Structure 1
């Protein structure tokens, strides 16, 4: 009887925390627009930004690596995940080529909540745009790739082969390249507030779901 009662209380408690978190985020959005120079745009942009952050954080929290992998496998999985994050950073708009003589230095871009506040460095040789949504979202994808390799690895080589023979694992890389080609990168330009938000968010949600459930691995 006590166990059944506890089981009923736990979902209620989680729901309560979820409602509290949602309210805090809604208040934060209002405060963000009041206290900064950011201008309200279409509501879906703020929704997308929060979606990236919340889903990415939830995926990291809910995913545990397999127990006791050997050090060599963990090291190779970490290297692959780091390389994967680097690909996402380049094709997803966190890092791009420099501005040459038009370099602007460091600034804060007050983009819609979740995308901003963005730390932007416009250098001569490289441009770095650290947007919270991308940073959390890409970190979550890279972590899920790390866990996927560990789960697939009977050996280090088997893990890599298992990763790239799984459609749900190779799709994020291809999708990132495709998103970049069709406007996923360059969110700080005039083209930022258009369908690229929709496309990038759809790709992210699908990718996160596939890597979380890992149908080709589990």
Structure 2
């Protein structure tokens, strides 16, 4: 009698698979961007910052728990998330009051992830969007809205994990703001130069962003609360 030996079934965890997919898509988009434009490359450490931000954003948004709430709760939590994202964009200089003569819309071709930077300066408002920071801030806003859903749906006591997540994200955002202000220089950026990450400011801001995204997506204190 012949015995068939089967290898044990296994697979990568879903968040790891999502991260690998995000890395593959970013690589393809970066290659296309470099092929179609005159943008150059930067040091590996500098290029790694946008990759980490976008990958973490995709994994956190894809796998965060989505508490169920009613229509009014969804509207309120969504408004909180949007307000958070807009406020963070304002603090980091991505949005701000226009200063000087309106110049309209232009694009700066920086290395992948840092560019293309979309800039606009009108009569009242100035906008300066780095791709990876736009993705990161939008992801944090969405995750904040999910934490707000947790609090709305379960109350302050049952949703304490969501409350702590909001507070943790606010504190983690401080170094993010510091590094972003250095990158954006207020309402304008770089003009062809890529900020150096050797001094650690961007790396520290990236670590803070990863922590904030993890706290908001995983809400680790939820396991100690009673639902």
* Smaller-chain TM-score bracket: 0.7 to 0.9
For residues 32 and 19 of structure 1, the distance between their equivalents in structure 2, rounded to whole angstroms, comes to 20
Number of equivalent positions: 208
SS of residue paired to 1:78: helix
How far did residue 26 of structure 1 move?
3.6
How far did residue 95 of structure 1 move?
0.7
Q: Which residue of 2 aligns with 1:204?
A: 209
TM-score (norm 2): 0.74
TM-score (norm 1): 0.77
Q: Compared with structure 1, are the counterparts of its residues 14 and 211 closer, same or farther at alpha carbon in structure 2 (3 Å cutoff)?
A: closer
Q: Deviations over 1:12-64 (max 9, x none)?
A: 99978866764554454344334323232222222111211121112111124
SS of residue paired to 1:113: coil
Report if the CA contact (8 A) 2:65-2:218 is conserved. no
Q: Which residue of 2 aligns with 1:89?
A: 89
For residues 134 and 106 of structure 1, the distance between their equivalents in structure 2, rounded to whole angstroms, comes to 19
Q: Which residue of 2 aligns with 1:63?
A: 64
Structure 2, gaps ≥5 residues long: 1-5
1:74 aligns with 2:71: no
Q: Which residue of 1 aligns with 2:52?
A: 51
For residues 82 and 161 of structure 2, the distance between their equivalents in structure 1, rounded to whole angstroms, comes to 15
Q: Which residue of 2 aligns with 1:153?
A: 152
Q: Which residue of 2 aligns with 1:110?
A: 109
Structure ranking higher in helix proportion: 1
Flag as ranges the 4+ runs of structure 1 deviating above 4 A.
4-7, 12-21, 161-165
Aligned CA-pair RMSD: 3.4
How far did residue 158 of structure 1 move?
3.3
Structure 1, gaps ≥5 residues long: none
SS of residue paired to 1:184: helix
How far did residue 164 of structure 1 move?
7.9
